[in-house]
Chain A
């Protein structure tokens, strides 16, 4: 029983099991995303729940991050007299990295948790079974709209976060660090390349898909009443966050080499 090899073996097996189940689940979801009918009403409702109601938390995250970034970069760059680079580095840091990643993590905390809790409750109260008996596929009716909505909404959210984050940097740069209003904005825009923004938005779409997938997966497979739903919620947030960070590295490397 307590053989360490057996423990390692069990852990490995369960990891492969999880990866397999997750792949099948994701494949099932994708199949229903592309195949009609597509429930536009449900997608719209999810987009509002995911996007609109995440705006405050994403906005606050972005503005403080932009402000901190301006301060820290100022400290760093002043050590070799490169203070003029603050605006450029702030905008690149926000659009390429911090905008998508921090928004992704914040939205994961909100949305993956909410999805896992809702679907988990539907599972344990047999609502998902009821759906099936009413000739409606839960993947089509529950998962697909959530995944589509999250994938479409995250880039929009991150675009807003980019703007707000840059504004945060601008506020600190002009009010505290003594930059000129016009020249700060000019160096923000001048050195920014389309790819900086686009790569961030691509990341956002991927993160959106992943965080919805984790919410759906853990909710769909939750069992055992309130406690099970609680565990599903926690697992959804943790796994979504880890996946977002891992995917972030992979995507960055992809854009880095090309």
Chain B
């Protein structure tokens, strides 16, 4: 059996008294696209940040290519991060740099590429997310939210990383652009052979890009399976989530008058 590209084993994290992750087990195979679904505030973004070493997990192991990466520091950390691309939920574009410099950042700073060559690649990647070359000269604050998201997406894939995380890639996009982005993610997996882990609330998008789906609830992965199995998962939580019903085992803590 081949080792998984990325594997989380019993990853836990709490903030204060609040247990956010309580032993997450998840695997992403080589060239596989895994989609994680789950309610708002269930720790999906925290999970990605644990893998990227931005948040230190309380316990558990994170294996990349079979090697534990929890607690790596210095140049070892930089090296393993160079395998990753990350689309942040809030885009997190550098507002002191122009759009193309944002996209080219990983190439210039991380890979030491010449600015001219990096710019050409940046413009090409911007084209892939439906943005013209002249957008590259603008500053991120001059873009709409959806455009910022697409720039962030271009930045995440610019270095053609081995593992790409997409934190809600289609939120805030119109349905047509959302589908273009879905295609792009599928292409990343197929053409680049990348392994991707996508977080989304958008079930149409999840069905399109996923090989496998996992659902996170109360700090655990409560269901994980092939995308064809999602409609008859036999799991009441999953059923409620994918059909977006307010009544079911998952209760939202909202106060009714």
Using a CB–CB cutoff of 8 Å, the interface residues on chain A facing chain B are 118, 122, 125-127, 129-137, 141
Contact = CB atoms under 8 A, between A and B. Distances in A.
Nearest to A129: B54
B92 A134 contact: no
A132 B52 contact: yes
B105 interface: yes
18 contacts: A125-B90, A125-B92, A126-B92, A129-B49, A129-B54, A130-B92, A131-B94, A132-B54, A133-B52, A133-B85, A134-B106, A134-B155, A135-B81, A135-B82, A135-B109, A135-B110, A136-B109, A136-B110
Nearest to A137: B78
Interface residues of B, number: 24
B152 to A, nearest CB: 8
Contact of B105 (A118, A125, A126, A134): A134
Interface of B: 49, 52-54, 78-79, 81-82, 84-86, 88, 90, 92-96, 105-106, 109-110, 155, 159
Contacts, number: 52
Contacts of A127: 92-95
A49 to B, nearest CB: 11
A38 to B, nearest CB: 13
Given A135-B78, A135-B106, A136-B105, A130 B95 contact: no
Nearest to B88: A126
A130 B110 contact: no
A141 B94 contact: no
Contacts of A125: 90, 92, 95
Nearest to B79: A135
B100 to A, nearest CB: 15
Contacts of B93: 127, 130
Contacts of A136: 105, 109-110
A130 B109 contact: no
A130 B88 CA distance: 8
Given A130-B92, A134-B105, 13 more contacts: A118-B96, A122-B94, A125-B90, A125-B95, A127-B92, A127-B95, A129-B92, A130-B93, A130-B94, A131-B94, A132-B53, A134-B81, A136-B105
Nearest to A118: B96
